[in-house]
Amino acid sequence: MNPICKLLNIQYPIIQAGMVWCSGWKLASAVSNAGGLGIIGAGSMYPEVLRTHIQKCKSATDQPFGVNIPLLYPNIQEIIEVVIEEGVKIVFSSAGNPATWTGTLKEKGITVVHVIANTKFALKAQEAGVDAIVAEGFEAGGHNGREETTTLCLIPMIKETVQIPVIAAGGIGSGKAMLAAFALGADAVQIGSAFAVAEESSAHSAFKNKIISAVEGDTKLAMKKLVPVRLLKNEFADAVSIAEAEGADRNRLMELLGRARAKLGMFEGDMENGELEIGQVSALLKEIKPAKAILDEIWLEYKSGLQRFNSLFHELNL
């Protein structure tokens, strides 16, 4: 049996990434009901908002779901308390030191998965006692590693480094890419962008439409002097790009970024002044569909890829 399906008690080794302003209870419960793992993204929620989302998610599905917690979150203590109080069974942590909270969560019987982008943090996460890791490549949307290692190069590196199961992320929005991740040794996939445009995603419809219209080259890794983040091209991203080409320092970038730009763009729908976080795979996304249809198509394409390989296997007389 697939080690991630076993660990998380899910039908398909497909995990919907926790994403700010996209993945509330509606998306998470829809993915979980479809047989994957839905995740509520706590990064854009006040603790009491998160509590409401968890409660609604429990009402909307009897299947396992998780909560993604960026560990650098200002109210982290309260967020952890909410998760424990509400009896959440699975936490995906990211953006921070996995040693700080993994013990507390594990003591409460919570399964902990940590998101990393390099071998150093993969080892740290394993040492902290997490149950699995998500290895996220350069092509992923949102915040990203400084090494710029792509998923194709990262997954084999991480598999050589840790013994716990590895979930591949970054550039995966189809069954073909899922099969590629498995070829590299991944035990499961985490999919963000493709679920950001699900009907149940809480992203603004203008943002969803902009994602499915994106073409190659429309996302760029920006803000490398702060924390690297992959942005979709718009007026704001262009301004960042020009500032960076001119050698803008951290202060100028922080000033440009200002406050609450991600909410402005992704949730409120300001397509020019908002910060639009999405993966490179957006160029391959063509329509807005229910989460179940997205998951089913990915699984179907993955299976037909396996069938194609089975024919090749026999053709080569292996």
For its own copies, what does the binding mask look like between residues 199 and 228, x meaning CB under 8 A? -----------------xx--xx---x---
Instruction: With both helix axes pointing from N to C terminus, report the angle between 47-60 and 25-33 in degrees, rounded to the nearest 10.
Output: 30
Which of 33, 52, 97, 150 binds its own copies (CB under 8 A)? It is: 150
Rounded CA separation 155/230 (Å): 19
* Binding of residue 163 to its own copies (CB under 8 A): no
Q: Near its own copies by CB under 8 A, which window of 25-33, 71-79, 87-95, 167-175?
A: 167-175
Nearer to its own copies, 202 or 282 (CB): 282
**159 three-class SS:** helix
> Rounded to whole angstroms, how far apart are CA atoms 265 and 194?
18
What is the number of other CB atoms lying within 10 angstroms of the CB of residue 258?
Answer: 11
137 binds its own copies (CB under 8 A): yes
Inter-helix orientation angle 250-257/235-245, to 10°:
170
Nearer to its own copies by C-beta: 109 or 316? 316
Question: Considering just the CA atoms, what is the radius of gyration of the chain in Å?
Answer: 19
Give the Cα separation of 116 and 93 in Å (integer): 9
Among 8, 88, 110, 181, binds its own copies (CB under 8 A): 181
Min dist CB 69 to its own copies, Å, is 26
Neighbour order of strands in the sheet with 14-16:
14-16, 188-191, 166-169, 132-136, 111-116, 90-94, 65-70, 38-41
Quick check: 313 binds its own copies (CB under 8 A)?
Answer: yes
Least distance in angstroms from the C-beta of 22 to its own copies = 20
Binding site for its own copies (CB under 8 A): 118-119, 137-139, 146-154, 156-157, 160, 170-172, 174, 176-177, 179-185, 216-217, 220-221, 225, 245-248, 280-281, 283-284, 303, 305-307, 309-310, 312-313, 316, 318
